[in-house]
Chain A
């Protein structure tokens, strides 16, 4: 009976000594076994400058963002744009910038006075198209 008791005690002592030695070593246990302590990331050191990053242009980025699974109420780049105004757009003369009462039915250019009107009729068509494009009104009506 004595021999097994001794061996049991030894085992317990062993176990105790194990636990004693384990506690200080606990931080080392957290050191994950699959992590190589000497690992050096490829981006560090001389290779850094050689790394080429792909930059997508804005249209690609926006298109990619649209495809993400957004909820209808999520705020995104596309959803925060201010909505159209409730007030009607003001009309200014394309020639001088003054408030315009009239629109030339032929060229669709807005004008404020008779002098302007006489000038409009002398303008070549590429200039009138240019004036309209300043206020994004040059979309040809089909």
Chain B
């Protein structure tokens, strides 16, 4: 039986058959373009669009939870349909992720859609961090650790989830309301106030964030560098914005040919302190007036709420997952901040998977090859007999 693994993120859906090597990354939204009036783009159809300026997103998720089923249905129809996966529903199982503490009404609606409208043969639902920690446990085969602390920093928010023997400790979960969306929006706002109006260019600014932003590992030193002028300032970068006639995608101007490009009519954004002050929000949400702990402090808060015997093991096995962990320097900074925060005698190990974004998908792939998988999932017959209650019993959402 083929199994589809779907890590249904609020911004990017990671999807593929469990036999595939890599998942396909498909924007989990319907996009309208300013220049193309007669059609909408579903998921990665946006690649067909020539002019990506002024894109308008219709997202199925709001603050990390599925609230617009019609849009989600369009994206799912596209994913399962002939253009992407060509799923034969009656012969296919599904592994799908759901947000943490998903609301009952949403969970039930999702189950209904999968079983009754698509008619999948079997379903397994879990949180993305479950798959990430499963992947982690599989990779360290000789010395399996009982505890695992997953930091899932995604598009809508960042969660800290402690796992003990593969079970989520619900009381320990902490949420920080900062994710990739807040970072992109903040970057958009400060650029619009300081340099150039880009409030409508979410897509371009998001690309810019991915290209130039990084997590500072020495904040105060970097703060001093950005004050300097000329050659001494090693942080400043000039980012050339795309105009979608000659330049198809924004890029960083090489520092040495600064004069060569100057005569061309390009729109340039000078990224200086913005490069690291934006991702800094993950560590200090108070910078934008959000009264919450940053990631390292929240980890400390989470772990201190757990039984004392568990605490050193949690610090010894921290796994990063989610798109924000791809920011350069994220792991080092988190390690440094945590090391300063926790007792000296505790071992600290922070693990950044090869690709933090698709880590959960890889975990799902390994899970459906595992012998225990068939006992974990709910089949269509079971669902028809017991309804939602069996899903509530079997899945740990």
Contact = CB atoms under 8 A, between A and B. Distances in A.
Interface stretch (B19-27, B248-256, B287-295, B348-356): B287-295
Interface of B: 62-63, 65, 67-70, 100-101, 103-106, 109, 112, 116-117, 119, 170-171, 173-177, 186, 189-190, 193-194, 223, 226-227, 273-274, 277, 284-294, 297-298, 301
13 contacts: A53-B69, A55-B68, A56-B67, A58-B65, A75-B170, A81-B175, A85-B294, A89-B289, A95-B194, A98-B227, A134-B193, A135-B287, A136-B289
B198 to A, nearest CB: 14
Question: Could you say which of A55, A84, A98 has the most chain B C-beta atoms within 10 Å of its C-beta?
Answer: A55
A61 B65 contact: yes
Contacts of B105: 56, 61, 64
Interface of A: 41, 43-44, 48-49, 51, 53, 55-58, 61-62, 64-65, 73, 75-77, 80-87, 89-90, 92, 95-99, 127, 130-131, 134-137
A80 B152 CA distance: 14
Contacts of A86: 293, 297
A55 B294 contact: no
A82 B301 contact: yes
A65 B102 CA distance: 11
A130 B284 CA distance: 21
Given A56-B105, A75-B171, A90-B284, 20 more contacts: A43-B116, A55-B69, A56-B67, A58-B62, A61-B65, A61-B106, A64-B103, A65-B104, A73-B171, A82-B293, A83-B293, A85-B294, A86-B293, A89-B287, A95-B194, A97-B190, A98-B223, A98-B273, A127-B193, A135-B287
Contact of A58 (B63, B100, B104, B292): B63
A55 B109 contact: yes
B277 A135 contact: no
A76 B177 CA distance: 15
Contacts of B119: 44
Contacts of B189: 134
A55 B67 CA distance: 6
Contact of B67 (A61, A98, A136): A61
Contact of A81 (B117, B227, B273, B292): B292
Given A48-B116, A81-B292, A96 B273 contact: yes
A97 B186 CA distance: 12
Contacts of A64: 103, 105
B293 A84 contact: yes
A90 B293 contact: no
A85 B286 contact: yes
Nearest to A75: B170
Nearest to B274: A97
A80 B291 contact: no
Contact of B190 (A58, A62, A84, A134): A134
A84 B291 contact: yes
B65 A83 contact: no
A80 B175 contact: yes
A77 B103 contact: yes
B103 A85 contact: no
A82 B283 CA distance: 12
B289 A137 contact: yes
Contacts of A80: 100-101, 173-175
Contacts of B285: 85
Nearest to A88: B286
Nearest to B106: A61
A28 B65 CA distance: 45
Contact of A97 (B109, B116, B277): B277
B374 to A, nearest CB: 23
Given A58-B67, A61-B106, A81-B177, A97 B288 contact: no
